[in-house]
Amino acid sequence: MTSPTPQQPRSTSQPTHTTEPTDVSQQAHAPHAPQAPAAPPALYEETRIERAIGRLFGRATGRALAPYQTAVIRIGFSATWLLFLLREWPHRLTLYGPDSPWSLDMARRLLDANHAFSMLLWSDGRGWFECVYLMAVASSAALLLGWRTRTMSVLFMLGVISLQNRSVFIGDGGDNVIHLMSMYLVLTRCGQVWSLDARRAKRARAAAEAEAAAAGEEAGGEALDGAQTAAHMPGAGRGRDLTGIVLWAVLGLALAVAQLTGSYALLWFDNGPFPHIGWSLVLWGLWAAHALWWAVQRYAPGEPRTVLDTLTKLAHNGALLVIMVEVCLVYSTAGWYKIQGSRWQDGTAVYYPMHLDYFSPWPALSQLLGSNGLMVMLITYGTVIVQVAFPFTLFNRRLKNVLLVIMICEHLSIAFLLGLPFFSLAMIAADAVFLPTNFLTWVSARVSGLRERLFPRAVPAGPDGGPGGGEPPARTDHGGGGHTLVG
Amino acid sequence: MGPRRYGSGAELTAWVYGNGAGMQSYGDESRPLAALSLPSRIVIGVAACAVAVIVAIHLAMMFLHVAPQNTLSKQQGSLISDYVYPEYEQNWKLFAPNPLQQNVAVQVRAQVRAEDGSSRTTDWTDLTARDGRAILHNPLPSHTEQNQLRRGWELFVNSHNAQGRPIGTRGELAERYIRRIVMFRMQGEWTAAGGRVERIQVRSRTAAVSPPPWSTEKISDKPVYRVQPWWQITSADLPEGANSQ
């Protein structure tokens, strides 16, 4: 805790971050520059390793990194799952419900063996199925908008894994990505920007600051943790967060009922997402954490709040790292296994999927594209090169961005050409964790500008409004933090 | 103490405060960590270590799960699969090492017992071709058309040995799954004129995708049929069976 702070990169990033060629150089050099004047011959010279560890610690505890990237993947995955659920609405009973050829009885036999979690096993009734499906739809929509983000991310995860584990054999790669990411998202503060929570927090902060200015005291503190946002503002604390409390109580009650009726998979120490941590422990733990956070905001805004806040940031940053590495694993695996395939070597691989009955919604177009041998070869080789190279290009900002554009374009064409829109959307959402902050804030400004023009004065809050809108300009410096890591 | 506002001006003061003495401050922190009491700092320190360890373990498990079989994953196979399954299972060999180069069609026929006691055998129906027709010119194919039968048949093939015998529970479940998919799709059609389906037969028709026009490869374009034995249909295989538990 006694090392150069992560503060320096931020102060330098303000003027430089538009021109900075690489993240790495910024990370590596920025702390030294300001440190020189600040720390003349010190009594104790830290070793480089100590300094590196200190810097890492500072970054991990300093703030919830990459607010824009986490927001964009939150929006991406929830939108993909929401659109998928809505598209499958007419088929929902066949896919996950009582009309599925994979009967609930068969699902039970499989899940008894592999211990996967699914709320759908709690009851055989059609009513319960409809409840869970609707809950999945509603929580996706709420997560998309960033309403009570932390709570909704838990419900979103429960919806995703309940439905997917119920009928595990109708999913594809896209479902797999959403499954994993829905679990990781629970641990992130993915509603820091572009969310209703952020808007609410900003309003609360503005009110608090106005109040504080009037009272002559300093206003501070921020956090965007779902159910507690409004309550934890020192000034706004007086306004009760009734919605949050009701939501918390209702969900607690629901969980208690499920627990007491001995529902499937609600065990304390077995068959959970981590060794020796059961789903009961996870869900009750999350529930208790919300209460703790709320209580700390309200009654102990000093040190306890700082500690909890720091723990939350640690979890966020850890999960963010896992998400980023996971995306790299996807591309590495996809790329490295392809290298071993004879069709990827002889440059014809791309031709084949386009001629499979299940993946050719536009046969004439597939025929046309598949008729040019040179082009097929270039796309085949290009795909492998991009997938293998991607993780390594993260060390070079410009190259990474070029590859991101290529991969997103490739996924868009897969969406259309192979008839895999939801798979492609999920992959694009996963890619988005590496989008540069500059680009994301630019898009944000464009969107709010467009909205201003389309609906002038429709929202009293002005440019900081809805989920697609801009955010407090002051928060861009937080983006600067994310920018050095992933942007 | 540290900056409590969000302008960049305050941050300049922040790093001035954050000097070598270990005074740290962060933009969205109401108090710098170094100013916390010892227990708080211990809690944060321990949590940071725990997060680092958990992340490292998790990523190692994910890596070993998706990587090819290697020295470590052979040694620790059960440890890895205990951790990974069921919730972190993943497979990113997308069209790798080689893309599928054959169209597998699932075709079915039935023996229908009419009300007068006579029995007839229907013609083969190509369920995959029906899926294909549903996907054709459809920008948003449903999982029911694109995945249900395709992945169901994959499951069936993977859970049966070369002699067509089911392997374990999975094999049994897969067989029942196929019967149910078939009955859910075909029962209405087969029994439109009354009667009841007694037995069904399933076969797969595998046809190689013809090599690209510029290729000189010669591949047999003769489809290969794999015919399964006749399967008795019980009430558990019928759509109503799903609701009657």
Cβ pair A80, A425 in contact under 8 A? yes
Same domain, yes or no, for A420 and A471? Answer: no
CB contact under 8 Å between B91 and A114, yes or no, is no
Nearest CA-CA partner of A428 in A416, A442, A438: A416
- Interhelix angle A421-431/A173-185, nearest 10 degrees: 40
Work out the angle at residue A292's Cα, subtended by the Cα atoms of residues A162 and A274, and round it to the nearest 5 degrees: 40
Length of chain B: 245
Which domain range does residue A468 map to?
Answer: 437-485
Find the residue in B nearest to A328 (Cα): B63
Phi, psi of A39 (to 5 degrees): -125, 90
Phi, psi of B17 (to 5 degrees): -70, -35
Nearest by CB to residue A373, choosing from B8, B15, B214, is: B214
Both structure tokens of B213: 């026009």
CB contact under 8 Å between B34 and A1, yes or no, is yes
From first to last of the 487 residues of chain A, give the pLDDT tens digit.
333 333 333 333 333 333 333 343 334 343 444 444 444 555 677 788 888 888 888 888 888 999 999 999 999 999 999 999 999 999 999 999 999 999 999 999 999 989 999 999 999 999 999 999 999 999 999 999 999 999 999 999 999 999 999 999 999 999 999 999 999 999 999 999 999 999 999 998 999 889 888 886 444 444 344 334 433 444 444 457 899 999 999 999 999 999 999 888 899 998 889 999 999 999 999 999 999 999 998 898 889 999 999 999 999 999 999 999 999 999 999 999 999 999 999 999 999 999 999 999 999 999 999 899 999 999 999 999 999 999 999 999 999 999 999 999 999 999 999 999 999 999 999 999 999 999 999 999 999 899 888 887 654 443 343 333 334 333 333 333 333 333 3
Number of CB pairs < 8 Å for A and B?
310
Same domain, yes or no, for A153 and A107? Answer: yes
For residue A321, give the 3-state DSSP assignment.
Answer: helix
pLDDT of residue B7: 34
Candidates A1, A7, A312, partner chain B, best to mutate (most B CBs within 10 A): A7
Candidates B1, B51, B221, partner chain A, best to mutate (most A CBs within 10 A): B51
CB contact under 8 Å between A318 and B52, yes or no, is yes
Using only C-alpha atoms, chain A has a radius of gyration, in whole angstroms, of 24
A115 to chain B nearest CA, in Å? 7
Domain boundaries, chain B: 8-84, 102-242
Nearest CA-CA partner of A263 in A88, A121, A434: A121
CB contact under 8 Å between A273 and B87, yes or no, is yes
Tell me, yes or no, whether A80 lies in a domain: yes
Average pLDDT estimate for B41-45: 94
Tell me, yes or no, whether A468 lies in a domain: yes
Same domain, yes or no, for A366 and A464? Answer: no
Q: Which residues contact B150 (CB under 8 A, 6 or more apart)?
A: A358, B104, B128, B131
d(CA A185, CA A318): 11
Of A393, A418, A434, which residue is a domain's last? A434
Q: Which residues contact A269 (CB under 8 A, 6 or more apart)?
A: A276, A277, A278, A281
ipTM of the complex: 0.85
Nearest by CB to residue B100, choosing from A63, A356, A363, is: A356
CB contact under 8 Å between A173 and B92, yes or no, is yes
Cβ pair A470, A448 in contact under 8 A? yes
Check pLDDT > 50 for residue B223.
yes
Same domain, yes or no, for A426 and A330? Answer: yes
Q: Which residues contact A54 (CB under 8 A, 6 or more apart)?
A: A1, A2, A3, A4, A46
Question: How deeply is A321 buried, as exposed, middle or buried, from its count of CB atoms within 10 A (0-12, 13-18, 19+)?
Answer: buried
pLDDT of residue A23: 40
Cβ pair A384, A339 in contact under 8 A? yes
Task: Report DSSP state, residue B31.
Answer: S
B32 pLDDT band, cuts 50/70/90, is: low
pLDDT of residue B139: 95
Element (H or E) spanning B126, and its range?
Answer: strand B125-126
Cis peptide before B86 (omega within 30 of 0): yes
Antiparallel, parallel or unpaired: β B102-113 and B196-208: antiparallel
Of A434, A449, A464, which residue is a domain's last? A434
CB contact under 8 Å between A38 and B141, yes or no, is no
Most confident of B9-18, B29-38, B184-193: B184-193
A99 to chain B nearest CA, in Å? 7
Candidates A105, A225, A321, A357, partner chain B, best to mutate (most B CBs within 10 A): A357
- Chain A residue numbers with beta carbons less than 8 Å from the beta carbon of B62 are 325-326, 329
DSSP string, B43-96: HHHHHHHHHHHHHHHHHHHHHHHHSPS-HHHHHTHHHHHHHHTTTT-----TT-
Total structural domains within chain A: 3
| Bridge partners for B166 per DSSP | B160
Cβ pair B34, A2 in contact under 8 A? yes
String of b and e for A65-92 (b: at least 16 CB within 10 Å)?
bbbbbbbbbbbbbbbbbbbbbeebeebb
Tell me, yes or no, whether A362 lies in a domain: yes
Which CA distances in Å does A43 have to A54, A417, A463, B88?
Answer: 17, 65, 50, 49
Same domain, yes or no, for A423 and A342? Answer: yes
d(CA A104, CA A92): 14
pLDDT of residue A240: 75
Place of tokens 């659109």: A83
Nearest CA-CA partner of A186 in A85, A320, A37, A384: A320
pLDDT of residue A37: 46
| Bridge partners for B203 per DSSP | B107, B227
Range scoring the smallest mean pLDDT among A241-255, B3-17, B66-80, B87-101:
B3-17
Both structure tokens of A183: 């679990």
SS3 content of chain A, % helix, strand, coil (to 5): 75, 0, 25
Sign of the torsion angle spanned by Cα atoms A254, A257, A261, A262: positive
Nearest CA-CA partner of A188 in A306, A354, A57, A65: A65
| Bridge partners for B224 per DSSP | B206
- Chain B residue numbers with beta carbons less than 8 Å from the beta carbon of A472 are 6
pLDDT of residue A8: 37
Which CA distances in Å does A354 have to A257, A428, B102, B168?
Answer: 50, 20, 11, 35
B233 to chain A nearest CA, in Å? 14
Cis peptide before A21 (omega within 30 of 0): no
pLDDT of residue A4: 38
Antiparallel, parallel or unpaired: β B231-232 and B224-227: unpaired
d(CA B104, CA A382): 28
Which CA distances in Å does A366 have to A352, B58, B136, B148, B171?
Answer: 10, 40, 12, 23, 36
- Chain B residue numbers with beta carbons less than 8 Å from the beta carbon of A322 are 55, 58-59
B35 pLDDT band, cuts 50/70/90, is: confident
Cβ pair A1, B45 in contact under 8 A? yes
Cβ pair A12, A39 in contact under 8 A? no
d(CA B173, CA B194): 29
Nearest by CB to residue B148, choosing from A170, A340, A373, is: A170
pLDDT of residue A442: 94
d(CA B96, CA B89): 17
